[in-house]
Amino acid sequence: MMPDDQKAIESSYEQAKALYAKWGVDTDQVLDQLARIRVSINCWQGDDVRGFEGSDELTGGIQVTGNYPGAARTPDELRQDLAKALSLIPGKHKVNIHAMYAETKGAKADRNELKPEHFQNWVEWAKTLGIGLDFNPTYFSHPLSDDGFTLSHQDPKIRQFWIEHGIACRHIGAYFGRELGVPCVTNTWVPDGYKDLPADRLAPRRRLMESLDQILAADVDTRHNIDAVEGKLFGIGSESYVVGSNDFYLAYAAKNNVTLCLDAGHFHPTESIADKISAALLFVDHLLLHVSRPVRWDSDHVVVFDDELQRIMEEIIRSGVSDRVFIALDFFDGSINRIAAWTIGTRNTLKALLKAMLEPTAVLKEYEAKGDLTSRLALMEELKSYPWAAVWDYYCLRQNVPVRDQWLAEVKRYEQEVLLKR
């Protein structure tokens, strides 16, 4: 960056700082607060949810479309791509991996036999970058999930296989947390459900509950591993009935003191997960968010800077619960450069967090308490055009990552030099 550009960014920041200070917001403090938040970046955007097991079929009712060149084919390629994206994103974050990204070095280890050692390369890599790792058991893209049921399967042998997988994954999560000094969130999502109308909605749900009970009964250090459960409305092939619905998991999480995961794409189109945060947090200790973007259905588009994203981040900040909400990304788009996808989605998430942190929430709450709803709306609307972007640019500068769209040239260069040669 030219010294002149740098000066311009700094002087715009000083002006913004003075404007926010009038409302009692200290922008320097806000940037320190933002730097402490880790966003969990989903590794599966880098290879279209393929994993390293050699399977080329993605099942479980989720889908990636697009055939952009350069998808990572090996663990080293995926980590190289992730490191590139991380270098374009301000702050220290986490990478979210799935059990299907195990490295068994040619040895046969089925999902129920996975061990911490199969993820040693991920841990070594995370240590060199100073990042954390999150984890997910993989209950899809496997022969024993082919008929659409896993933890709620009516065959006790198949259920047992998946219960063992769930337990193995909690131990791996604890290994991540212990090794990296950042607790690992291990998130359970199962695809179980029916395409058409079930005659019995109750029995599969009872079996899912009992399987989860068995998985959670295994003794795993909760200082290092945090268990989360993720519900869903429908998937491809489970349009009529999903065993693990939101109601099921909300009740399960509250009763069993586990973290509830809310995925932005797993609700009816007009429902917002932003409104669910304050309700759920009265009954569960922690939430995990899968920040995603549904377009007409649970399409998992790259997160853009839209109203929904801003509402979610505002809710976290206004409720003062940033230490109780784990923010993870969940999107997979194979139609654009995958490193750009990570960079766009993560930078947008951080921008929305920053914008929310810059809000003089105390003032808005005071207007509200006094019944001055006119001032509440007036200030909320004026704040939308406050110079929060100048604060963002300064943050990128200070964190030594490209300012504004300068990251794109870096991604294009990497595409030429690395991705197109694959």
Query: Which chain residues interact with Zn ion by CB under 5 A?
Result: 263, 290, 330
**290 included as an active-site residue:** yes
Q: Which residues contact 382 (CB under 8 A, 6 or more apart)?
A: none
# residues near ligand RNT by CB under 6 A: 11
**266 included as an active-site residue:** yes
Which residue lies nearer to Zn ion by CB, 266 or 338?
266
**153 included as an active-site residue:** no
Q: How far is the CB of 352 from Zn ion (least distance, A)?
A: 18
If we measure between CA atoms, which residue out of 342, 361, 363 comes closest to residue 410? 342
The Cα 317–Cα 303 span in angstroms is 19
Site for ligand RNT, residues 86 to 145, rule: CB under 6 A = 136
Please identify the residue of the shown chain whose CB is closest to the bound ligand RNT.
189
**5 included as an active-site residue:** no
83 φ, ψ (degrees, to nearest 5): -65, -35
Residue 328: helix, strand or coil by DSSP? Answer: strand
Which residue lies nearer to ligand RNT by CB, 81 or 263?
263
The Cα 207–Cα 412 span in angstroms is 49
Which residue lies nearer to Zn ion by CB, 263 or 359?
263
- Structure token digits, residue 340: 């750009």
Which residue lies nearer to ligand RNT by CB, 90 or 235?
235
Interface with ligand RNT includes 252 (CB under 6 A)?
A: no
254 φ, ψ (degrees, to nearest 5): -65, -40
Say if CB 209 and CB 170 are below 8 A apart: no
DSSP letter for each residue of 283-307: T-S-EEEEE-EEESEEEEEPP-S-H
The Cα 264–Cα 235 span in angstroms is 14
Which residue lies nearer to ligand RNT by CB, 342 or 388?
342
Q: Which of 230, 308, 315, 333 is catalytic?
A: 230
* Candidate residues 48, 134, 308, 330; the one interacting with ligand RNT per rule CB under 6 A: 330
- Structure token digits, residue 366: 């005071």
Give which of Zn ion, ligand RNT, none residue 16 binds (C-beta under 5 to 8 Å, depending on kind).
none
Which residue lies nearer to ligand RNT by CB, 50 or 171?
50
Which residue lies nearer to ligand RNT by CB, 27 or 150?
150
Residue 227: helix, strand or coil by DSSP? Answer: strand
**232 included as an active-site residue:** yes
Interface with ligand RNT includes 263 (CB under 6 A)?
A: yes
If we measure between CA atoms, which residue out of 68, 40, 65, 89 comes closest to residue 338? 68
Interface with ligand RNT includes 347 (CB under 6 A)?
A: no
Say if CB 418 and CB 80 are below 8 A apart: yes
The Cα 145–Cα 195 span in angstroms is 15
Q: How far is the CB of 222 from ligand RNT (least distance, A)?
A: 22
Say if CB 325 and CB 277 are below 8 A apart: yes
* Candidate residues 290, 338, 347, 376; the one interacting with ligand RNT per rule CB under 6 A: 290
* Candidate residues 9, 30, 31, 49; the one interacting with ligand RNT per rule CB under 6 A: 49
Q: How far is the CB of 138 from ligand RNT (least distance, A)?
A: 8
**CA atoms within a 13 Å half-sphere pointing along the CA-CB vector of 129:** 23
Which positions from 156 to 195 touch ligand RNT by CB under 6 A, shown as an x/- string?
A: ---------------------------------x------
If we measure between CA atoms, which residue out of 7, 24, 21, 33 comes closest to residue 317? 33
The Cα 222–Cα 213 span in angstroms is 16
* Candidate residues 17, 153, 224, 232; the one interacting with ligand RNT per rule CB under 6 A: 232
Q: How far is the CB of 159 from ligand RNT (least distance, A)?
A: 20
Give which of ligand RNT, Zn ion, none residue 49 binds (C-beta under 5 to 8 Å, depending on kind).
ligand RNT
Site for ligand RNT, residues 354 to 413, rule: CB under 6 A = none
If we measure between CA atoms, which residue out of 292, 256, 272, 236 comes closest to residue 96? 292
CA 403 to chain centre: 24
**162 included as an active-site residue:** no
Residue 152: helix, strand or coil by DSSP? Answer: coil
Which residue lies nearer to ligand RNT by CB, 62 or 358?
62
Q: List, by residue number, the catalytic residues.
A: 189, 230, 232, 263, 266, 290, 298, 300, 330
Q: Which residues contribute to the site for ligand RNT (CB under 6 A)? A: 44, 49, 62, 136, 189, 230, 232, 263, 290, 298, 330
